[in-house]
Structure 1
Amino acid sequence: MSAFASESSTKPLKVAIVGGGIAGLTAAAALRLEGHEIHVFEASPTNTELGAAVSLSANALRALNHIGFDLKQLRGCDMLGSYVSLALLGGEGRFNAWYDPLNTFGHYGLLCHRSDLHEELKRLATAEDRPGRPATIHLKAGWFTTRTSSSAQTESTHSAMRTSVLGYKQTAPPSGRAAFRCLLDLSKIDGCTEFDWIHAGPAGIRGVRPQNARGRSLVVYTCRDKTLLNIVASFPDLRDQDACSWKERATKEQLVAAFADFGPQFTKLLSLVDGPVHLWQIRSLPVIPVWVRGRTALIGDAAHATFPTLGQGSAMGIEDAVTVACLLPDGTPAALVPRSLAAYETLRKPRGEFVLTESVEQVTVPEKRGLYGRSREMQAYIAGHDAVKVARDYFETHLTGASESEGSCGTL
């Protein structure tokens, strides 16, 4: 989540970004290219990304290309737009291919480790040898004050900046679902024929989502130059989720027990896990009425935290970030910042809400389950999007030629 402000009407704008996650660092990298002075306020003492892997579909890669990311640094595995669905006890599965993923979307998606993406974004934001002034990251930043609100905690989990924008507290309610997340060193399964299903056919995501699994699913895919296997095992969570931590350490034994009736090739795979296992609650935000207040805008999860169903959580935050930067180009007068952020909300809110709503409904509405893998129209709308082009076209049509005096009445 990000707050935007300036002390004067001349460039560079002073931009405060609250939270140094994927969306925040993408915004820092994109806005520094426009010549602005960037400060990132991060609650953690190290600003390192935890968790496991993340999928970056073509729309995310297109936006990252705008800020000059180095593809090699992500060490990603081609997703090839595929999803292989396997039966509960193993055996033949079903292959779902995205419609013409290369020619239509411009690039295959990537599967990469979240920390590799985070480190590359941090480099793009702070490196001395890049255009623009390097962003400054302030660690252990517990509080942040905007002109339009009182102080707010910079801890991003509960999005206190969202409270600042909305005027009331809105959290992501319990969903009744959770997931075990962990990584497995692929060298542990070299030569084991029972795991051939992981590599068989085109590269992509393998999932076990049978009808008789009582709401459970097991999704795996490779990352980090095919040296690691990302494992996500989701299930109905019968705990009082408000009484539990959103993320906590779990054990391999808990993971194996929860999926003990799955086929032996799946249970054996889980039994080989020897690294950390985390238990995450799966939550999403309800649609919120506004994303912008004056010179403060919400981006990423602060605006539209989603279920992982469509694999678009990170992509939407990346799109948000580059859109903001395109609407605040070098030389933007401070008086026009509110108008530029209002344009950001106009462009991004319908799209973010569509992905948010579909990510939930394709889990909770039986007839919509797996719809993304079947709908060429939805795939084209989501993965075929070019956030930079859309923002630049909007700026050229609606914002070019605006003078500082024209926007002075909106100065806060």
Structure 2
Amino acid sequence: MDTLDIGWLLVSSAGLAQAVSLLVLLAGEGRRAFRANRWLCAFICAAALSFSQNVVDVLASADWRLYLFPLFGIIPYFYLPSVYLYFRELCGLPVRRTYRHYLLPVLMSAVLVVMVMMVFDRFGTQVAAGQTEFALNPFSDPTVINLSILTIVFAVALYVQLVVYMVWLWRMSLHYMRKLGEQMDGEQPGLKRWLVEFLSGITLIFFIYTISVVIDILDQDSEWISIVIEAGFVIVLFRLGHLLAVNPALFVASEPDASADASGQKTDNASDPERTRLILEDDDARRIRQDLEKLTSETDMMFDPLLTMPKMASAVGVKPNQLSFVLNRHIGKSFFDYVNEYRIQAATQRLIESPDRTILDIAIEVGFNSKSTFNLAFKKITGLTPSAYRQQKT
């Protein structure tokens, strides 16, 4: 075993240890984080297999390296699909048919199996003897020509996949972070930093892999450079592990409580995955607005003198910051304006329909704690005091 082999073993062992520690950290985030973290675990497992390949290349014989080539050679195809599915879960846009993102890896695995069979068929005796280099004319040997074609197909498919997924990831992430800035109002301070650093790390790994492949093609005596590049991969994983360690359960939403409707029955809005996402798209906001209108028309919650933003959000089945966003951006009112306008509208009907009832009695019925507070809100909305309004309308 020479110095290069020792270098590969050291770097690969460090990478394997880091991958295991990352998996342990993710496992500690709990059951509610599993939906997103399962795809991050898939990415880390692929990285661990990549480091294992370096160990196998150092310790295993030539024939065993060929036997395992379909397993290790397909690893790069799993990186970005797994990361993409992870980000989709974080954005609250899970993919229904996830297997489609792994059809290309399965197909390319079949290509690698065919390539290995061709090598054993043509060079089986030499490989069994430990020989790994063959003096052949690449333009006259049919097996070499076919292997070259399959290699080109494999490489082109890989880089097309990498570019497509990188574009998808950056577009989705930029959109998500813009929405996050609009809706979170300073909450989850570590969330944006994690997204930026994680995506930057994935992009760096993509370039690291690209550079290593180019170097292998252009320079056959580049193993030390390849070791340095592999060490960069380990450093990126270490940084991701550090971020996870200092931001435990970063994407785990609190377990929502079911809320009661007017009949006292539990509603399951809070258990809907679309209700627990961190940010809202326009369609989600419209649904929340419709449910809010239904809540105000079918229940007496708006007349609760102890009504608060968190209490109303719980009844609708969303987070308080999400309800605030819908009220401000889609309805154009603050929480207090929205509640007071509804209460004053109900009060105007009662003032006209029940002229003998006292103003204080009506004020308390619609949710105000005092006559003075009711008078101020009433005049702000209608331009008249309750007494003047009643005299004008009756």
TM-score, scaled relative to structure 2: 0.30
User: Higher helix proportion, which one?
Assistant: 2
Higher relative CO (Cα under 8 Å, sequence separation at least 6) belongs to 1
- Which of the two has greater strand per residue? 1
Mark the structure with the bigger radius of gyration.
Answer: 2
